Amino acid sequence: MVPDFASMMREAKNLKVRLEQIQAELGQLECTGEAGGGLVRCVMNGNFEVRRMQIEPAAVEDAEMLEDLLAAAVNDAVRRIREAIQARFSGLTGGLPFPPGLIPGL
């Protein structure tokens, strides 16, 4: 059986277009991570870029606590983004995890 290279090239091109669409969708996806019962919030997009940090005045009184809350909020946002990406795009992989490096951060 001879491989159909034209068909393979079309499929590769379609996959490239779909991956570009996914990257654009990821830029629009946003999740909010929280820490300290909402004292600190981190809004992150699907490209793992921090878009906003919201800090309640009560969190500013203790610098060490604030540092911990900032780290916790960012980590929570990363976790939520990963979950959202897996949920949104799991159909592409038939429910299997994304191959390493296909989507940055996963």
Tokens 């992150």 — which residue?
A: 44
| Helix/strand/coil for 101 | coil
Q: pTM of the full predicted structure?
A: 0.73
What pLDDT is recorded for position 101? 64
Q: How much is the pLDDT for 64? A: 95
Q: What is the largest distance, in Å, between two alpha-carbon atoms of the chain?
A: 72
The separation between CA 36 and the C-alpha centre of its own chain, rounded to angstroms, equals 22
Q: Distance (Å, rounded) from C-alpha 81 to C-alpha 9?
A: 32
Terminal C-alpha separation, the chain? 37
CA 94 and chain centroid, separation: 19
What does DSSP assign to residue 40? E
Q: What is d(CA 5, CA 13) in angstroms, rounded to the nearest whole number? A: 12
| pLDDT given for residue 102 in this prediction | 62
Per-residue pLDDT of the chain (106 residues; tens, 9 = 90+): 667 888 888 888 888 888 788 888 888 999 999 999 999 999 999 989 999 999 999 999 999 999 999 999 999 999 999 999 888 877 766 666 666 666 666 6
Per the listing, tokens 């600190």 go with 40
Considering the domain delimited by 26-83, tell me its CATH architecture. Answer: 2-Layer Sandwich (3.30)
- Gyration radius (Cα) of the chain, Å: 19
Amino acid letter, residue 92: L
* pLDDT for the residue 9: 87
